[in-house]
Amino acid sequence: MLKQIEGSRAVAETVALCRPEVVCAYPITPQTHIVEALGEMVKSGKLTGCEFINVESEFAAMSVSIGASATGARAYTATASQGLLFMSEAVYNASGLGLPIVMTVANRAIGAPINIWNDYSDAMSQRDSGWMQLFAETNQEALDLHIQAFRLAEELSLPVMVCMDGFVLTHAHEQVDLPSQQQVDAYLPPYEPRQLLDPREPVSIGAMVGPEAFMEVRYLAHARHMQALERIPQLAAEFKQVFGRDTGGLIHTYRTEDAETIVVSMGSVLGTIKDTVDEMRDDGHRIGVLGITSFRPFPLHLVRAALHKARRVVVLEKSLAVGIGGILSNDVRMAISGLHMPGYTVVAGLGGRAITRKSLHQLFRKAEQGLLEPLTFLDLDWDVVNKQLARERSVRRSGPVAENILRDIGTVASKIA
């Protein structure tokens, strides 16, 4: 059914169609509308057979999800930014225990300074937690990925994060095709847990494991991720049969067949990149786009196959590994190891800064001309940065260091604002 709807509401209605039995809720911008809508549906009776649990923190939200999943319930929660950091210990526990929890991450920057807008620093902080991570380009993709996420999580007994851009997607109203309950039921069978806590047959979970077994446990989680590389495309194909549209999968390409320059990215910015590529194609530039849907597990072989004919690769990522630069680009470099093509890391959109077609045109042309630095910060205000660096050099000479640095950071933030 086609419907003009907010992204968060579309996700909430889709999650409800997946028949969750426990929804754990702690509100944090910009995911709040999702759990609010689910709470309304439980209270009104639209969503039956589900217990909606308000908890006191994000750590509690994941802890309750772990308990619910361990006892055989289909469990769901949502979070963002500092909320994901607060539940980090429990996030690792969920994957270590092999519990098929599904969680929406409404991607948002991590402070300080406090910032509520979109980038990927929250999800990237948990990239090695053992959770599968799927990134949505559009709200249609976001709701479709949630349906596939429950199936994927429960088949492999691993948790899944569905990442959607905070505000850019969560608060955007657009037309989506909402599935029917019959379609979801045809695709997603009732949850049959691999492991089940039963008071009649008590066992311990999450007990201490020594050096003699810890490595094997971690490897088994890795092995299930490798299984997911095969299962994700299969589930996407089955999804198309039931719902009639392509969605999900590991990667998707756009105008890459003869491309000399291929831009790699994730999430909603892919739409802007594709528009820019269309405009540059009209001017004769051979450029294409590779979108990554599955960041964890990372599809090394597919990425290599998509990029091996290109002359250069530009990885545009909305996150920064301070002290080294790229995060997604490191995985891409691993995929193209030995191909001897120049690769560029472009950090863009941090804290929700706009990524415009004008800036992308200039960026991609520089890459074609070989004028792009290996690590580039798109639209960085170098005047502000250089003035601050000059102040800090002066501070180191004059002291007191801590007071002056804190004061100057506040000055930079206020000037930018």
Report whether 100 contacts 156 (CB < 8 A): yes
Tally of CA atoms within 13 A in the half-sphere of 124 that contains its CB: 22
- Which parts of the chain register pLDDT below 70? 398-417
**132: β partners:** 160
Per DSSP, the three-state class of 334 is helix
C-alpha closest to that of 231 among 157, 324, 291: 157
User: How far, in Å, CA of 118 to CA of 350, rounded?
Assistant: 7
Crossing angle of helices 357-368 and 269-282, rounded to 10°: 60
**Rounded-to-integer distance, Cα 115 and Cα 119, Å:** 10
Burial class of residue 42 in the structure, from the number of CB atoms within 10 Å of its CB (0-12 exposed, 13-18 middle, 19+ buried): buried
* CA atoms lying within 13 Å on the CB side of residue 384: 13
pLDDT at 73: 97
Task: List CB contacts of 384: < 8 A, sequence separation 6 or more.
Answer: 412, 415, 416
pTM: 0.94
Residue ranges of alpha helices (H) inside 244-289 are 269-282
**The pLDDT value given to residue 49:** 97
Gap between the Cα atoms of 323 and 126, Å rounded: 18
Distance CA 327, CA 324 (A): 9
Sequence-separated (6 or more) residues with CB below 8 Å from residue 161: 103, 104, 105, 123, 126, 131, 132, 133, 134
pLDDT at 404: 58
How many Cβ atoms sit within 10 Å of the Cβ of residue 352? 18
Residue 237 near residue 182, CB atoms below 8 Å: no
| Confidence (pLDDT) at 399 | 59
User: Beta-carbon neighbour count of residue 86 at 10 Å?
Assistant: 19
Its sign, for the CA torsion 107, 221, 321, 267, is negative
In angstroms, the CA 367 to CA 70 distance is: 50
Question: On the CB side of 63, how many CA atoms lie within 13 Å of its CA?
Answer: 10
**132, HSE (Cβ side, Cα atoms, 13 Å):** 38
Instruction: Please list, residue by residue across 283-295, b when 16 or more beta carbons sit within 10 angstroms of its beta carbon and e when fewer do.
Output: eebbbbbbbbbbb
Q: What is the DSSP code (8-state) at residue 352?
A: G
Q: Which residues pair with 134 in a beta bridge?
A: 162, 294
pLDDT at 204: 85
